[in-house]
Structure 1
Amino acid sequence: MRFRAVASAVLVVAGAVVPCMAAGQAQADEPWCGASRLGLTVQPELGQPGGSQRTASVVLTNLSQESCVLQGFPGVDLATVGDNGRASLPRTSEQGQPVHLPPGGQAKSTLTYATGTSTPTEIIVTPPDSTTQLHAVWPAALGSIMVWPEGATHPGTFIGPLRG
């Protein structure tokens, strides 16, 4: 009798494990969206908050003919800003979820920035788990920004995780 109870529990556990592996396998078959598959645009978001805080969307578009997946934060640098001509933006503490992109699909990351006296000329974005960078001209509509020194406890300019 004791043996039957143990055998039943093993079958139930084994039955629960197999579907989980199958679902994970389906996701593993979808390729990662590397920089070579992606296009970059930057645009102001509608309904800006009041005061000196603004937001923009950093948009990565799947330019390939097959679906791919992204997760996490893009690395974002602003050129001609900061002490050495380039400022790397800190990330929020939010957690990113996988974003599945069909051909032409988009993932967006919110760039929050404080208005200031520096106007970047270029935004440089490194997609998650990539070393290849994408470049775009800083849109004039976004205006000037303030970049806080690295390690500041309350930076006014930062990047959020990618969302679908």
Structure 2
Amino acid sequence: MRFRTVASAVLVAAGAVVPCMAVGQAQAQEPWCGASWLGLTVEPVGQSSGSQRTASIVLTNLSRESCVLQGFPGVDLAAVGDNGRAALPRTNEQGQPVLLPPGGQAKSTLTYATGTDTPTEIIVTPPDSTTQLHAVWPTALGSIMVWPEGATHPGTYIGPLRG
């Protein structure tokens, strides 16, 4: 069961104000954002500390109606790791529902350690979906260190979606 309350927020993207709604306790009737409703972009954010950097995984509602997302996107990197594809671990943070009006965005923070691997593509599976969205790995993000699966303190990981 998904609980939803609409509380207004504002998101500024490329100089334009696009509303984004935080969703909480009461129920709303907005549909879940299907992968076919979403666009994917990857944006550099900055250097956190030393060799650790951050980027935003941005899901934009391309449909003509509002929809809801909650949780973590599945994030894989192509052309890296032992198998040529690496699935990124998630943080322990809790994701909150996010209401996306048409054009609204939800962002997930990708924290990564710089390294020797340069992905060719980032593959994102929105929450509660099996359909994947693809984007070219931005050259501005540089190289990445992919930690072995099951590493106790990976330097590369993904956070929950936020409005």
TM-score range, shorter chain: 0.7 to 0.9
Q: Following TM superposition, by how much is the alpha carbon of 1:49 offset from its aligned partner in structure 2, in angstroms?
A: 1.8
Q: Following TM superposition, by how much is the alpha carbon of 1:71 offset from its aligned partner in structure 2, in angstroms?
A: 0.1
Q: Which residue identity does 2:98 align to in structure 1?
A: V
Q: Following TM superposition, by how much is the alpha carbon of 1:127 offset from its aligned partner in structure 2, in angstroms?
A: 0.1
TM alignment of 1:47-126, pairs within 5 A: 48-126=47-125
Secondary structure of 1:141's counterpart equals helix
Identity, in percent, stands at 87
Please state which structure has a larger fraction of its residues in helix.
1
TM-score normalized by structure 1? 0.83
Q: Which runs of 5+ in 1 are unaligned?
A: 1-22
- Tell me which residue corresponds to 1:156: 155
Question: What is the distance in 2 between the residues matched to 1:81 and 1:157?
Answer: 13
Question: What is the distance in 2 between the residues matched to 1:35 and 1:85?
Answer: 24
Secondary structure of 1:146's counterpart equals coil
- Tell me which residue corresponds to 1:45: 45
What is the aligned-residue RMSD (CA, Å)? Answer: 0.7
Please state which structure has a larger fraction of its residues in strand.
2
CA-to-aligned-CA distance 1:112-132 (integer Å, 9 cap, x gap): 000000000000000000000
CA-to-aligned-CA distance 1:14-46 (integer Å, 9 cap, x gap): xxxxxxxxx32xx2x200001000000001014
CA-to-aligned-CA distance 1:63-104 (integer Å, 9 cap, x gap): 000000000000000000111110000000000000000000
TM-score normalized by structure 2? 0.83
Q: Does 1:132 align with 2:128?
A: no
Q: Which runs of 5+ in 2 are unaligned?
A: 1-25
Secondary structure of 1:163's counterpart equals coil
